[in-house]
Amino acid sequence: MSEGDNNHEHDHNDEARRDAWRGRRRGALVVVLAIAVLVLVGDILSAVALGRTSSSSARSTVSVTGSGTATGTPNTVSFQIGVSSIAKNASNALAANNARVSALEAALIKSGITKRNMQTSGLNIYQNTNNNGVVTGYTAEDDLSVTLHEISKAGAALDAATNAAGNGVQLSNLSYSISNQDSLYQKARTAAMKSAYAEASDIAKAAGETVGSIVRVSDQENSSGSTVPTPVFNTAVGKATSVVPVQAGSQTVTDQVSVVYALNG
């Protein structure tokens, strides 16, 4: 074979190898493109499926507020009672007032009020002056904050305290409360939930739907106390005219709930 023939044969073989390589490259490219198309189609189908799922799972809701009340009888009374004494000098005014406060405390204790339910809430000593600014004497004041858990004894306790303290006794801030309001709040909360459900049912009915399960609920409590006028004492003789009449009345607690209900179409 001549040298020219050999060169021609080599060129032919090189061309064949290049064609084969180009063919494999095109095949690989086709495979990559096919995979990309499949991934893209899969993503689209997944997005569509998720969209359908989320749209089908979304539910209509209704938000309402319900209120409920419950009423009970107070079993605790609180008040502030104090005495004041006047003397020519501060030490004598304080000494005289200390004696009166001791008598006042003893009378309260004898009436069933414990020491733990009495607290000194105010102690003052100040000068008394005339129109010209001249000191004419001193006044000492002492106040007690008192809590009594047996309201039936309150009138007699106030009467005894006033008799013991004498003239200058001062009574104020009489108020009532219920020591344990848990049962009242439970009743009020039940009434509030019923009120909320009734309102949600009315709204759902108007929309052609029915009330479903509770999605969210929040609760808020509050109470309203009751007070009575301060009893009036006959300070001219230093004693109450009779056993002080005390009426506890009633006390109302209120509960309010905010509820979100799902609606069934």
Q: What is the DSSP string of 99-110?
A: HHHHHHHHHHHH
Lowest model confidence (mean pLDDT) among 38-52, 128-142, 155-169, 249-263: 38-52
- Regarding predicted confidence, which is higher, 260 or 58? 260
- Residue 227 and residue 247: Cα distance in Å, rounded? 9
- d(C-alpha 109, C-alpha 250), whole Å: 27
* CB half-sphere exposure, 14, CA atoms < 13 A: 6
Q: CB–CB of 68/194 below 8 Å?
A: yes
Examine the pLDDT at 50 and tell me if it is beyond 70: no
DSSP 231: P
- Computed over every residue of the chain, the mean pLDDT equals 79
CATH number listed for the domain at residues 61-71+182-224+254-264: 3.30.110.170
Provide the CATH number for the domain formed by 76-177 in this structure: 3.30.70.2970
Domain ranges for the chain, please list them.
1-58, 61-71+182-224+254-264, 76-177
Q: Tell me the whole-structure pTM to 2 decimals.
A: 0.58
End-to-end CA distance of the chain: 93
